[in-house]
Structure 1
Amino acid sequence: MTGASTTPADDAREASVEAALAALDLDAKTRLLAGQDQWSLPALPEIGLPSLVMSDGPVGVRGVRWTPDDPSAALPSPTALAASWDPALARRAGRLLAQEARRKGVHVLLAPTVNLHRSPLGGRHFEAYSEDPYLTGEIGTGYVRGVQDGGVGTTVKHFVANDAETDRFTVDNVVSRRALRELYLAPFEAIVTNARPWGVMAAYNTVNGSSMTENRRLQLEVLRGEWGFDGAIVSDWLAARSTVGAALGGLDIAMPGPVTVYGEKLAAAVRAGEVEESAVDAAARNVLRLAARVGILPGVAGAGDEPRASVDGEAVDGEAVDGDAVTREIARRSFVLLRNEARDGHPALPIDPARTPKVALIGAAARDARILGGGSATVFPAHVVAPLDGLSSALPEGSLTYAVGADPNTELSVAGGDFELAATARAADGRVLATVPLPDGRVQWVGSDLPDGVDYDELAVVEVAGTFTARDSGEHAFGTRGLGGFTLTVDGTVLYEGRQEPAESSDPFEAFFGVPTERGRVRLESGSTVEVSLRVTVFKVTDAPMNAIGFSLLHLGPQRDPDEMIAEAALTAAAADTAVVVVATTERVESEGFDRRDLRLPGRQDDLVRAVAAANPHTLVVVNTGSPVEMDWRDDVAAVLLSWFPGQQGGAALADVLLGAEEPGGRLPTTWPAALADAPVVNTTPSEGQLRYEEGVFIGYRAWEKAGTAPAYAFGHGLGYTEWHYETVDASQAEARVRLRNAGARHGREVVQLYVAPQDAPSDAPERPARWLAGFATVEAAPGETVEVAIPLRRRAFEIWDETADSWSLIEGRYEIQVAHSLADVRLSAPLTVER
């Protein structure tokens, strides 16, 4: 083991690993490195090793099957977790996920995502933490520690520069060595150094001409050699393309199976002299070490079984983590109050029911909560608290009214809560192989996801059948997504019968799942219940690397006249003392697999906000998105609260914050543009196969300050319900000590942010940003109470990557240490001279 001091327990695990490795022949070792199905590695009975199971994260633990029979806790999105600016809270989130993983028999969580918000158009923006590498590294460190506290492995992903979705399988991201080190590698380095993760996931993309699953320079020389990483490197799913290239490049595990570049192919490459067996031994050793750490290698205790009295003041062993309590706390601690104007002498938030007894809640997302982003991060919780539920429970009976106003779902989407569905799998002769309930209209059986009793080769037909209860009167559209032969029947009428063939795409997932297609419409009355079925002759890909069945039943409700709906909402708002509008994106806007085209809210939601604000000056807007959106109405409303994708308890947390039981604790982890045109870095589309990171080290707030453009809301911005007076700062090269006082009338929490601003530089020094985040700390205080916090300053805060020397270089000279409430709100400063 390298890179860290070892304990007796570490030494015992290493001895067990070496003994197990010595007992394996070449075929067994190469088998261990290849997925046996979608989620697991094969068992090796010769050493008593059971199958090691992995599962998607980062906001929940899916398990090996998406099924309502085994629901998952759904946490707020990673952008929300980062908005807490609290690594200890991230660690608590990790502990909850470890508990979920162990309950589901999962040994390794495929998370966290620590790529950066290089462009606001990044489709997976919601699944990454921040535009800042230091904040990302700190939150990621807390998360990894928490998961691994519970004896479950993590795979920090996607290594590296996987910051957009367009052509993600084929793109060559061209990044300068300095930008790679100072920005994109930095969070990985921090987490490897501070949390010792048990796994890292190699990305789909290429970096500077070398595929990441074959990138010897970054995987072996940097990750393992320089940083001392001793965990396992697993490929992103289908990312490994070359047996010899991956083996020589440092990849340990090729997923998924049963067809991979490893296993028999790797054994053959060794026998042909193309790969040294020592490379196989090194990879097998890393996988066996992972097995030992998660507690499945016989004869040795897992790392999660080591006794620990507490983590961040809470018992690790013993009582189970309360999933609802933790997800609710993370949500309210993540909410960012962007604007809070005084009306009639009082701030808009928190709402005081005594002064404003009538509240109007408006927006489709207030009723049908958007709790998480689309793609592999999707999980199905047992219950969801929508904003309408949360406020209805918290406010006096009869004080809340509701109107839809504008629905962002103007396109077909997966059949949801108004459907009760089950899927029946049949053989070619009509025999029923299995019947399973579905949480929605999506069938996604990949590898081991197949229901019990279903053999892939025998499976011929899947029928999704059940009932649909119409919420609204009018014309309901039904459709499909996927490949194969379809027969769609609603209320006894066949709407479509035909076959969908695959389309060409550079993304195999997109090619397999197809595009949403409307198949027919049925007029229904509100409250009526009808039979629905979708019979699918399944499409099977010959010689596919994994067995997969995927298709969806889609639905779109009646599309009422938008102007009429907005007018109704405005009347509802005018009759209330306070209007709360919830606006949101949809899965067609924010999801894995594609990048965004713009930052606009879908549908007529902007028009809705403007109409409601005109009808009621006490209008508050809740923005239910995972990443930035344009809000040209923001100065016309009394308050703007960013709720991100808030997880299963989002509605309850929203009621806590809106009514003042809790303070909105979040600060922006990424700069929020007024308009996409203002953003200094936006490009996510490769040209001739390459995406050039021409901006160098200037992304996020670094780029905004270089461009001299003011965003709508600066990095680190966020308001609370009390006032803080920053009193003194004392800075040295090792730390800054800050004293501040809660000058308000209620208990509060503040995020103290530390920025380093160079005041001079050698004439031959490379250009540096105007300033950068160097540290932060969260403090709490009662009204009138003074607190003092010491924030460490790392040597790295004053270094740059010297491309000539290919090493870190300390830049001596004068700096200003800025103590800030946000990047745009510096409260104190102190001079500092940095010397070797």
Structure 2
Amino acid sequence: MKPDTTSPDATTADLPLETRAALGSGRDFWTTKDVAGVPSITLTDGPHGIRLQTGATDHLGLAGSLPATCFPPAAGLSQSWDPELVERVGAALAEEAQAADVQVLLGPGINIKRSPLGGRNFEFYSEDPHLAGTLGAAWVSGLQSGGVGASLKHFALNNQEDDRMRVSADVDPRPLREVYLRAFRQVVEDAQPATVMCSYNAVNGVPVRHNRHLLTDILRGEWGFRGAVVSDWGAVGGRVEAVRAGLDLQMPSDGGGSDAEVVAAVRSGELDEAAVTTAADRVAALARNARAARREGASFGDDVQQAHHELAREAAARSIVLLKNDPADGRHILPIADSGVTGSVAVIGPFAETPRYQGGGSSHVNATEVDSPLEQLRERLGAPVTYAAGFTTDGSGRNAALLAEAVEDAANADIAVVFLGLAENQESEGFDRTTIELPAGQLSLLRAVRAVQERVVVVLSHGGALELGQVKRSAPAILDGNLLGQGGGAALADVLTGVVNPSGKLSETMPARLADNPAYLDFPGEHGHVRYGEGLFVGYRWYDARELGVAFPFGHGLSYTTFAYSEAFAQPDDDGDGITVSLTVTNTGKRAGREVVQAYVAVPDSAQVRVPRALAGFGSVTLEPGESSDLEIHLDRRDLEYWDIRADRFVLEPGRYVVHLGSSSRDLRAEVEVDLEGEEVAVPLTLQSSLGEAMAHPAVAQALGQAMAAFTGGDGDGDGAATGEALGVDMAKMMASIPLDRIVGFSNGAVSAEQLQQLLDAANHH
């Protein structure tokens, strides 16, 4: 489905004003109005599965929903680092949406994981904008290839649940452009989603729904968005101002009250009628395109359900991250099949029996079936499998009898597989977390099991980052399942037993402690404002800049085999706007496997504030043992440029770019350099420019020489007596920061303001 607001069929100018205004708000909770030949369409949650309510929609949209495939939520799926797989998931979601007569699916969520405490982080891809943008574009492409529109959300800076409907995200221009809008730009430019969802919050004091700079100037003017802007559900207060800013569709229905407000505003001259017509045109085009893309006879029968469940299993298996795999008795713990197990396997933890596979809130899917890790392990392992809960998920987590049973099972087994994590009521839409620690009862269980069993594997289920120091110290092997959707049980069993070689990589940093995270002192703000004080240094960029230790770095993920990198090479694109990197990857182990190669860019000689390294591209290869393959990774200009606050635009800085190739952000194995021609930013000299800035211009420097001599005691050639040595200062450095208009006073009449301005005008002219 491609949005096309230029179609003559989308013109609504001849309709009565009341009708045009009515097109800009919903009919009920999930559908738009059917008026004047414009068909009604259905929009529904969610990003990792269809959540279509059964029967009549209720006022809050929280009633039960039809069965649908629950694919891994974004936090889990992102760990695949596999755009092709994400696109296939999007295409499968389109099939189910077509069968359910849904025209727009509300996703993907690509907001940056600014803080690990974000309650809705499980719905978002990453702390890194390039990874989020690449996977988000793949999801949109897959969905819209099946004739179903996407709703890219939540635009913009919706990074917390605390006070989410009012809070102002106060952010500087560079992080706004380079971090928080970067992924949205990529998805819009590369995939053209049918809609973009306007978020609840404000940005720098202006509610997004009223923010013309975001909704019109940037989204449409700079990025070329052609679809409709729809509000998050209940996000619009003051629809007249929202229409003026560029909002097209208010959801859900408010009973027609805002329609009347829009009409009255036009009649009174408060609102330009053309804005109402434009919004109506966009909604009409969305509805007509969506209806035209309907596939008659689409069904979600048993064969499709089974195929999608298998895809959910595949996606889950590719998204599992092997965090740690130390040897015990001379052998690696995992896979179990190769670890020398001859006796029983003790499976411990309620998440093994009843898996945690998705987050809570509006994206909660009524799964068609759910694989149990315990049952799947029993099917796959030749050895006997025992099960003990060990703890509860009711809040306390502690139960002496359950603990004793689990410890006994572990002591009598050859290996213990302990499932730990967060229950659904501990992270959900609607509230932020207050800690990233696992419940104390779970950590007590792990310590007790480790005391009686050397071979311990921990399997983690969670939607947000965790503090894993205790787990890392206690368990020789750790698998991160994150949230894996309905096929996660089979996927975990496949990886544990070695049927699947793990290839997932972390899409966010696992910090050593909460206090180390970049947003720690500013999150979640106060009095309606949250300051993005960390600036550009979000996620791994912060930890690298401060050289902080982490539990597991961004991009980390081990394998049951090993890989070597060689013959790395980089060259600028023909147009000079990007870089193409190539290298050879060799499987140096004994198993077939997939390696994700990550390319991080540094600009060491930059005149701007830069992060140490930033992800600018990635690619993967799947190799048999001993096999080598060439891999090419393209680094786009969008990931190399910076936002220049003086020029108010993106700039590709000229100079040396260093590309680090690695298996994680801290496992960097090759380094290549390339020089880019870039572009110089011409900043006019003014009387407020500094002396240092002016002296960098040869003509200005020469003309200012005599004036400088008047108050330095020299002769204008730089070797005067008043060098500052007697005062113990570097006179040149001290004076470099003086604004030019102060030179008039300091020169003791040697130069006038008029002479200085003439000099600057001449310099700027050249």
TM-score by length of 2: 0.83
How many Å separate the matches in 2 of 1:809 and 1:135?
A: 21
Counterpart AA for 1:747: A
CA distance in 1, matches of 2:610, 2:63: 50
- Equivalent in the alignment of 1:408: 393
Report if aligned partners of 2:346, 2:417 keep a CA contact under 8 Å in 1.
yes
Aligned to 2:753: none
SS of corresponding position for 2:365: coil
Relative to its length, the structure with more helix (as a share) is 2
- Is structure 2 residue 463 aligned with structure 1 residue 617? no
* Aligned residue-pair number: 656
Q: Aligned pair 1:711/2:700, yes or no?
A: no
Offset of 1:304 from its aligned partner? 8.3
Of 412, 430, 449, the match for 1:593? 430
User: RMSD over aligned Cα, in angstroms?
Assistant: 2.0
Amino acid corresponding to residue 706 of structure 1 in structure 2: A
Deviation at 1:118, TM superposition (A): 0.5
Out of 395, 409, 412, the residue aligned to residue 572 of structure 1 is: 409
Aligned to 2:599, the other structure's residue is in SS state: strand
Shift of 1:585: 0.5
Percent identical among aligned pairs is 41
Contact 2:65/2:365 (8 A) holds in 1: no
What SS class does the counterpart of residue 633 from structure 1 fall into?
helix
Match for 2:194 among 193, 198, 201? 198
Give the superposition deviation at 1:321. 8.2
Match of 2:585 in 1: 740
Encode CA deviations 1:377-400: one digit per residue, 9 max, x unaligned. Answer: 11111221121122122223x710
2:18 aligned with 1:27: yes
Whether the 8 Å contact between 1:137 and 1:188 is mirrored in structure 2 is yes
Distance 1:201 1:12, change over 3 A: closer
Once residues 11 and 344 of structure 1 are traced to their aligned partners in structure 2, the CA distance between those partners, rounded to angstroms, is 64
Distance 2:248 2:612 in 1: 41
| Residue number in structure 2 paired with 1:375 | 361
Q: Compare 185-194 and 239-248 and name the one that shifted more.
A: 239-248
Instruction: Give the letter for the 2:443 counterpart.
Output: D
Contact residue 3 and residue 193 of structure 2 kept, 8 A: no
Q: Is the alpha carbon distance of 1:800 and 1:58 closer, same or farther for their aligned partners in structure 2, counting shifts above 3 Å? A: same
Q: Which residue of 1 aligns with 2:632?
A: 790
**For residue 803 of structure 1, what is the amino acid of its counterpart?**
I
What is the deviation of 1:345? 2.1
Matched position secondary structure for 1:717: coil
Matched residue SS, 1:352: helix
Q: 2:51 is matched with which residue? A: 62
Q: Is the Cα contact below 8 Å between 2:198 and 2:209 reproduced in 1?
A: yes
CA distance in 2, matches of 1:163, 1:783: 43
| Pairs within 5 Å for 1:334-413 | 334-352=319-337, 355-357=340-342, 358-396=344-382, 399-410=384-395
Deviation, structure 1 residue 263: 2.1
Would you tell me which structure has more strand in proportion to its own residues?
Answer: 1
Shift of residue 22, structure 1, vs aligned partner = 4.5
What do residues 540-564 of structure 1 show as CA deviations (whole Å, max 9, x unaligned)?
xxxxxxxxxxxxxxxxxxx8x6233
Q: What amino acid is aligned across from residue 494 of structure 2 in structure 1?
A: D
Query: Quick check: 1:269 aligned with 2:255?
Result: no
- Structure 1 residue 711, shift from structure 2 partner: 0.6
The answer to whether the Cα contact below 8 Å between 1:361 and 1:400 also exists between their aligned partners in 2 is: yes
Name 1:51's counterpart in structure 2: 40
Deviation at 1:354, TM superposition (A): 8.1
**Cα distance change, pair 353–810 in 1 and its aligned pair in 2 (3 A):** closer
- Aligned-pair CA distance for 1:681: 2.3
Q: Pick from 218, 221, 224 the counterpart of residue 225 of structure 1.
A: 221
Relative to structure 1, the CA distance from residue 657 to residue 275 in structure 2 (aligned partners, 3 Å threshold; closer, same or farther) is same
CA distance in 1, matches of 2:474, 2:352: 21
The secondary structure found in structure 1 opposite 2:584 is strand
In structure 1, distance between residues paired with 2:159 and 2:452? 41
1:401-432 per-position Cα deviation (integer Å, ceiling 9, x unaligned): 00000113227xxxxxxxxxxxxxxxxxxxxx
Structure with greater contact order relative to length (CA < 8 Å, sep ≥ 6): 1
The one-letter amino acid of 2:566's match is E
Higher-Rg structure is: 2
- The Cα offsets for residues 309-359 of structure 1, whole Å up to 9 and x where unpaired, read as xxxxxxxxx988821111101101000100001112221111117821311
**In 2: Cα distance, 1:582 partner to 1:167 partner:** 33
277 and 116 in structure 1: CA distance in 2 versus 1, 3 angstrom threshold = same
Residue in structure 2 matched with residue 646 of structure 1 by the alignment: 484
Corresponding letter in the other structure for 1:655: A
Q: Kindly indicate whether residue 132 of structure 2 is the aligned counterpart of residue 136 of structure 1.
A: yes
Name the CA distance, whole Å, in 2 between partners of 1:606 and 1:392.
25
Name the counterpart of 1:481. none
Deviates more, 1:132-141 or 1:32-41: 32-41
Deviation per residue, 1:752-795 (Å, 9 max, x gap): 1001112212xxx3311011001100111111111011111212
Q: Given residue 10 of structure 2, which amino acid in structure 1 is its aligned partner?
A: V
Equivalent residue, structure 2, for 1:152? 148
Corresponding letter in the other structure for 2:332: P
SS at match of 2:567: strand
Contact 2:331–2:339 (Cα < 8 Å) also in 1 = no
> Aligned ranges for residues 120-519 of structure 1 at < 5 Å?
120-259=116-255, 262-294=258-290, 296=291, 301-302=292-293, 322-352=307-337, 355-357=340-342, 358-396=344-382, 399-410=384-395
Unaligned runs of 5+ in 2: 55-61, 297-302, 573-578, 679-766
Give distance in 2, aligned partners of 1:740 and 1:360: 38
Residue 531 of structure 2, aligned match among 667, 692, 707: 692
Distance 1:304 1:226, change over 3 A: farther
Q: Say whether the 8 Å CA contact 1:96–1:321 is kept in structure 2.
A: no
CA contact (8 A) 1:800 1:808 kept: yes
Q: Which runs of 5+ in 1 are unaligned?
A: 1-6, 306-317, 412-558
Indicate how the Cα distance of structure 1 residues 403 and 260 shifts in structure 2: closer, same or farther if over 3 A, else same. Answer: farther
Compute the displacement of 1:173 (Å).
Answer: 0.8
Partner of 1:443: none
> Greater CA deviation, 348-357 or 51-60?
348-357
Alpha-carbon spacing, 1:320–1:738, altered in 2? closer, same or farther (3 Å): farther
What code does the residue aligned with 2:463 have?
A: G
SS at match of 1:88: helix
Structure 1 residues 354 and 756: alpha-carbon distance in aligned structure 2, compared to 1, 3 A threshold: closer
1:658 aligned onto 2:649: no
Q: 2:755 matched to which residue of 1? A: none
2:200–2:207 Cα contact (<8 Å) kept: yes
Given that residues 3 and 227 in structure 2 are in contact (C-alpha distance below 8 angstroms), is that contact kept between their aligned partners in structure 1? no
Structure 2 equivalent of residue 524 of structure 1 = none
Q: SS in structure 2 opposite 1:254?
A: coil
- 1:15 CA displacement: 2.6
Say if 2:346 and 2:387, in contact at 8 Å, map to a contact too.
yes
1:746 Cα offset (Å): 1.4
Deviations 1:77-108 (A, max 9, x none): 20111111111111011111111111211110
**Which residue number corresponds to residue 84 of structure 1?**
80
What is the CA-CA distance between 1:622 and the residue it aligns to? 0.3
